[in-house]
């Protein structure tokens, strides 16, 4: 275990959420000095005064900023203004106030949605500014991308140590399975399991199934974040991914098999596909801080399905 964390006071915003809960567990494994998980009812990170209070109360050496207002394509289309404003205000003010308070290091976590809609494959960090993001999630992607601009500006002017990471689509246990805002894997897992329980012979999926996506298992993502926090000290963006690309139509078939659903899938082409393809160049993460994903997709999917089966009522309520 790295001695880097032994005397660190760490704030993990969003630490009670999907990715954050695994980050907090891995910090415990690394025997981090103290870990604080601010809750929204106590510290509303959209408000500058709440951020200042958080920093005064916790006096952290390091911040890992995971808190976000986030969801799938449907949620992004329904709430573009909220997704832009809330993510921008949280990230911009938190980084600024962390610099002012003397926090030693700031780990900013962006999103693959920041990449241009037609980025050449595999997505390289140098191509991040080649064009406008895919329209359905552009407000969210651009709001998160501003932390990259801010990180680079503050390093240039103040010498502030902040880093910016770009994880691809995550999946795994503890994800949101709410049909209003879930991403594609938890959405399909829930649809297939509930259809099987009801005895339905088909489900409806969005789009036409032609886009591709890359998926990173959530525990691997948490490990990548902590390795970057330990070993990486530049403000150039770095991708976190698995290099595993799959077409949505094939993904749907694999989830049907994993959940035991033997009915049919109809495609609602009135719904958007989202970005046509996503596959990251993940070489820099391995070169710069030694991260490489280790969980095979089928194993990660199996764990996700098992977790949902064991927590179905609570996961749906959440």
What residues are labeled active site? 140
Q: Provide the strand spans (E) within the chain.
A: 9-13, 34-36, 62-65, 105-109, 162-167, 169-171, 202-206, 212-217, 238-240, 245-247, 264-268
Tell how far CA 103 is from the center of its chain. 23
Please compute Rg for the chain using Cα positions: 19
Tell whether the torsion through CA atoms of 256, 261, 262 and 268 is positive or negative. Answer: negative
In whole angstroms, what is the distance from residue 195 CA to residue 180 CA? Answer: 17
| Secondary structure percentages of the chain, helix, strand, coil, to 5 | 50, 15, 35
Both structure tokens of 190: 């829930």
């Amino acid at each position: 275990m790295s001695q880097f964390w032994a005397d660190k006071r760490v704030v993990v915003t969003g630490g009670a959420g999907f990715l954050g809960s695994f980050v907090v567990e891995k910090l415990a494994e690394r025997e981090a000095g103290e870990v604080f998980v601010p809750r929204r009812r106590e510290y509303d990170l959209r408000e500058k005064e709440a951020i200042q209070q958080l920093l005064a109360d916790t006096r952290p050496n390091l911040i890992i900023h995971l808190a976000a207002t986030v969801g799938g394509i449907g949620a992004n289309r329904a709430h573009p203004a909220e997704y832009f404003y809330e993510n921008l205000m949280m990230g911009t003010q938190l980084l600024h106030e962390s610099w002012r308070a003397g926090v030693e290091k700031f780990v900013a976590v962006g999103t693959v949605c920041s990449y241009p809609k037609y980025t050449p494959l595999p997505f390289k960090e140098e191509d991040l500014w080649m064009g406008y993001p895919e329209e359905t999630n552009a407000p969210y992607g651009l709001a998160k991308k501003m932390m990259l601009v801010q990180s680079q500006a503050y390093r240039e002017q103040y010498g502030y140590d902040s880093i910016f990471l770009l994880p691809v689509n995550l999946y795994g246990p503890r994800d949101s399975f709410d049909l209003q805002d879930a991403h594609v894997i938890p959405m399909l897992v829930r649809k297939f399991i509930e259809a099987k329980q009801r005895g339905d012979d088909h489900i409806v999926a969005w789009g036409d199934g032609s886009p591709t996506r890359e998926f990173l298992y959530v525990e691997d993502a948490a490990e990548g974040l902590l390795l970057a926090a330990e070993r990486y000290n530049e403000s150039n963006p770095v991708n976190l991914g698995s290099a595993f690309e799959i077409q949505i139509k094939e993904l749907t078939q694999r989830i049907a098999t994993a959940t035991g659903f033997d009915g049919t899938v109809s495609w609602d082409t009135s719904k958007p596909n989202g970005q046509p393809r996503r596959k990251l160049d993940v070489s820099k993460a391995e070169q710069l801080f030694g991260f490489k994903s280790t969980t095979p997709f089928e194993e990660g999917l199996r764990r996700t399905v098992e977790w949902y089966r064991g927590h179905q009522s609570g996961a749906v309520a959440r």
